[in-house]
Amino acid sequence: MGVKRAMQIAIDTAAKSSEPVYTCGPLIHNPQAVAYLQEHGVDSVSDWQTVDKGTIIIRAHGMPDGSIDSIRAKKLGVVDATCPHVVTSQRQIRKYSEQGYFIYIIGDPRHPEILSLQSFASGNHRLIADYAEAEKEQPPARIMIIAQTTYNAAEFNKIAQLLKSRAREAIICDSICLATSERQEEIKRLAADADAVVIVGGKSSANTRRLAEIARALCPRTFHVETEAELDPSLFVGVDRLVVSAGASTPDFITSKVIDFLKTL
C-alpha cells in the first residue's frame, strides 16, 4: 500500500506542477520504478539542499524529524509520501521516548527508514541489527522495542522477547508491515515444496533481499531478479513446481512481466 500510494502521489504531483519535482533519494528501492518516475517528470536527488526551486516529495521511507520544516524554510514545495506505517512508527517512538522509555529500534542501521525513525527518539535509544547484537544488551528498566517496517518478523519476535526478558517493563510495538510479513510467511510455506523460486524486486531493497534469503534457505534454487531480462530459461529445465513472489516495494507491472515470461517456459 505504501509503495503504490507513494508512486501515485509522485506521478500526480508532477502532472500538476509547472516546476521541477524531485524525490530526496529514490522514492522506493527499485531502479525500474525510479526510471518509470523519471519518464513521468519526477527526478531523484541525493540532497534536497542542492535544489533551488520546485517541489520535494518525501519518499515512502520518511525523513528525519524537522527535515520538512527545513525544506519549507528554503521556500520549496513539500509533498509528504511517507508510508502511513512509517508515520505510525515515528509517532510511537516519539510518544514513548517522551515518557522516558529507552527505545530499541531493530533494523538495518544504513536504511533510510531507520535514519528517520531514530530522529524521533528524543531520549536515549539504540539501533540493533540482529539477534547477535541483542544478546549483548543489558537493557535499562523501562524499554520500548520497535522494528523497521520491512524487518524479518520472526527475527524481530526473537529479539523482542529476549530484550523483554531482561527488562523490568517492556513495550513491544508491532510495526512490521503486513504486506512484508505475509510474503515472508507465504514463502516459508511454499518454498519448501518448490523446485525453484523466483523473487522479484530491487537488489537494494532490504525486504526483497530478506524474502530471497528465506526462500533460499528452503529452496537452494532461488533466483532474485529485478526484471525478466535476468532470467535464463536453462535455469528452469526440469522444474515442475515454481514459486514466484515479490518484495513489498516491487511495482505490480514489473512482477507481471516476470510471470508472463515464466509462463512461456
The residue out of 58, 82, 106 marking a domain boundary is 82
Please tell me whether residues 44 and 107 are part of one structural domain: no
Q: Would you state the pLDDT for residue 178? A: 82
pTM equals: 0.81
Q: What is the CATH number of the domain that holds 123?
A: 3.40.1010.20
Whether the CB-CB separation of 246 and 1 falls below 8 Å is answered with: no
Kindly state whether residues 61 and 132 are assigned to the same domain: no
- Check residue 154 and give its pLDDT: 86
Q: How far is Cα of residue 164 from the mean position of the Cα atoms in its chain?
A: 25
Whether 155 and 232 share a structural domain: no
Residues 51 and 104 in one domain: no
Looking at the structure, do residues 68 and 146 belong to the same domain, yes or no?
Answer: no
C-alpha cell at 58: 518525501
Q: Which domain holds residue 14?
A: 2-82
**Domain identity same for 206 and 221:** yes
Three-state DSSP class for 34? helix
How confident is the model at residue 46, as a pLDDT? 86
Domain harbouring 58, CATH code = 3.40.50.11270
Could you state, in chain order, the average pLDDT of each consecutive group of 10 residues for the chain (265 residues)?
A: 87 94 85 88 91 92 90 93 94 96 95 93 93 97 95 92 97 89 92 97 87 96 95 94 91 91 92
Q: Indicate which residues carry an active-site annotation.
A: 113
- pLDDT given at position 204: 84
- Same domain for 91 and 170, yes or no, is yes
Q: What is the pLDDT of residue 123?
A: 81
Structural domains of the chain, count:
3
Euclidean distance between the first and final Cα of the chain, in Å? Answer: 31
**Which of residues 120, 149, 176 is at a domain's end?**
176
Instruction: Output the CA torsion 49→118→27→211 (10° steps).
Output: 150
Q: Is 53 left (phi over 0), alpha (psi -120 to 50) or beta?
A: beta
